[in-house]
Amino acid sequence: MNIYKNPVANTWKTIMERPLFEKEELNMLVRFILSDVKKNQDKALFKYTEKFDSVKLDTLEVSSLDIKTVTSSVSEALKGAIEVAYRNISIFHASQNTTKQIVETTKGVCCWRKSVGIEKVGLYIPGGSAPLFSSILMLGIPAKLAGCREVILCTPPDKNGAINPAILYTAKLVGIDKIYKIGGAQAIAAMAYGTETIPQVYKIFGPGNQFVTKAKELIQQDGVAIDMPAGPSELLVIADKSANPAFVASDLLSQAEHGPDSQVIILSDSESIIEQSLLELEKQLKKLPRKEIAAKALENSKAVLLKSLNQCIDFSNAYAPEHLIIASEEAPKYSDRIINAGSVFLGNYSCESAGDYASGTNHTLPTNTHAKSYSGVSLESFQKKITFQKLSPEGLKNIGPAIELMAEAEGLAAHKNAVSIRLKAMTNV
């Protein structure tokens, strides 16, 4: 981990840089895959599954019998844990439902807005070294609560052509029965354009590697919506002298183990806390099954000593982390100053893992500075808003003259006439 002691503010931007990757080659490869799937459909999907996942499939869709058979192998303990998370995530996202409110802006002019679930959505769930069945809860629950009519799920198969049982169990629990054994950029292409087997959707959600991320970025150019720009996972911890160094180290490693391109940062006004946290980091790293991955991520990670907690917050707001932990007994008093972050964890016992799994908040969050302008996934992510207005004759009389003047000033005579003809009809009655 790279260590910085009291860097001056004009050097912060350099310290905040995320890991960089070759973009042009990635861009060309993903564009080719998208084009191939768009043209050759299922044939291309079978080809890329054999090439990238090392398995030759007979069918892309997971059958209802497979779902029923495979999910029986999930332990009762894990099922119970998933159901705890299901309950909490459902409660939190259901609370985001809004009721229709009719507003009379002028006497006789009523306006309101209605939430409508996006008709067709696709969920991408990584299934490689870390099958993220928790993401099905984070995406499937709000999709169902929002009233989306069709929800499909794509996830890559293992080398035997099977899907992880926990993924199938969670999908079944949420109520998703259209599951396809396809991963990578080709899965995004299939959902974006549709194939003989996989239906086209209107919006695509879910985390993934750099190929998936690039594919989601590119399909937007063809009019398919995505949840948000995203990239490698990241975590920033602000720790003061009341922080527990072992807790801090565990949180840093919890994100570093996601992938070698992840980035974690610790900020503190206490040199002792940084030193103790880094010592704990080394001790805990040695015990991790994914220690090689975490160690690689730590090469791109930073420990920064600053002069005050206020400086730490300024740094964090400029960095705009996906996850932010304020490891302090006084964490709540700093919460109002946080303006750029995907999700915030307050206090020494609010580990980031809670948000990843079972506290109730959503773990699909903006990365790579996008927390400055994007929110994480919520119920509204699966909805569109339709506005309505109803004008009575009195209402049109009240605002009609203003509309006529504005339309005339913009040179739009037909706009003006649509009002004038009605006002004239009223006077002739």
Query: 263: which 2 tokens?
Result: 């980035």
Cβ neighbours around 406 below 10 Å, total: 13
Architecture of domain 392-427: Up-down Bundle (1.20)
DSSP tag of 358 = T
The predicted model gives 294-319 an average pLDDT of: 96
| 149, amino acid identity | R
Question: Do 226 and 220 form a contact (C-beta atoms < 8 A)?
Answer: yes
Q: Tell me the pLDDT tens digit for each residue of 237-286.
A: 999 999 999 999 999 999 999 989 899 999 999 999 999 999 999 999 99
In the chain, the percentage of residues whose pLDDT exceeds 90 is 90
Question: Across residues 75-90, what is the average pLDDT?
Answer: 97
Residue 78: partners with Cβ closer than 8 Å, 6 or more residues away: 166
User: Which strands form 120-124's sheet, in the order they lie side by side?
Assistant: 178-181, 150-155, 120-124, 203-205, 225-226
Q: What is the pLDDT of residue 231?
A: 80
pLDDT tens-place string over residues 32-61 = 999 999 999 999 999 999 999 999 999 999
Query: 131 falls in which pLDDT band (50, 70, 90)?
Result: confident
For 10, 314, 327, the CA distances from 356, given in Å and listed in that order, are 34, 25, 17
Q: How many CB atoms lie within 10 A of CB 410?
A: 10
- Structure tokens belonging to residue 112: 């309101």
Determine the residue type at 40.
Answer: N
pLDDT at 378 over 90: yes
Look at residue 17 and give its three-state secondary structure.
Answer: coil
Q: How far is CA 134 from the centre of its chain?
A: 13
**What does the pLDDT average to over 142-161?**
96
Q: What confidence category does residue 68 fall into, taking pLDDT thresholds of 50, 70 and 90? A: confident
Mean residue pLDDT of the chain comes to 95
DSSP state of 199: P
- If you average pLDDT over residues 205-233, what whole number do you get? 92
- The domain segmentation of the chain, as residue ranges, is 2-19+232-360, 24-226, 392-427
Q: How confident is the model at residue 21 (pLDDT cuts 50, 70, 90)?
A: low
Whether residue 230 has pLDDT greater than 90: no
pLDDT exceeds 90 at position 199: yes
- Give the DSSP per-residue string, 37-78: HHHHTHHHHHHHHHHHH----S-SBPPHHHHHHHHTTS-HHH
| Better-predicted residue by pLDDT, 22 or 356 | 356
**Residue 270 contacts residue 237 (beta carbons within 8 Å):** no
Instruction: Name the packing angle between helices 393-409 and 413-427 (round to 10°).
Output: 150
CATH number corresponding to 2-19+232-360: 3.40.50.1980
Residue 337's pLDDT is 96
Answer whether 214's CB lies under 8 Å from 126's CB: no
Model pLDDT, residue 164: 93
When pLDDT is cut at 50, 70 and 90, the band that residue 24 belongs to is confident
8 Å CB contact between 327 and 244: yes
Question: Of 126-140, 273-287, 373-387, which range is least confident?
Answer: 126-140
Bridge partner list, 123? 153, 205
Say how far apart CA 100 and CA 91 lie, in whole Å. 20
| Tokens matching residue 125 | 């769930």
Q: 365, 323 in Cβ contact below 8 A?
A: yes
Instruction: State the alpha helices, DSSP H only, in 241-351.
Output: 245-256, 271-285, 291-299, 309-319
What local confidence, expressed as pLDDT, does residue 429 receive? 64
Tokens, residue 48: 């890329």
Q: Which CATH class is domain 24-226?
A: alpha beta
What pLDDT is recorded for position 25? 87
pLDDT above 90 (res 23): no
Tally the residues of the chain. 429
For residue 400, the surrounding DSSP H or E stretch is helix 393-409
Q: Kindly state the percentage of the chain with pLDDT values over 70.
A: 99
Measure the CA–CA gap between 35 and 357, rounded to whole angstroms: 36
Q: Give the residue numbers annotated as catalytic, written as ranges.
A: 322-323
Residue 334's φ and ψ, nearest 5 degrees, are -95, -10
Tens-digit pLDDT profile for residues 311-358:
999 999 999 999 999 999 999 999 999 999 999 999 999 999 999 999
φ, ψ dihedrals at 290, nearest 5°: -105, 35
Do the two domains 2-19+232-360 and 24-226 of this chain adopt the same fold?
yes
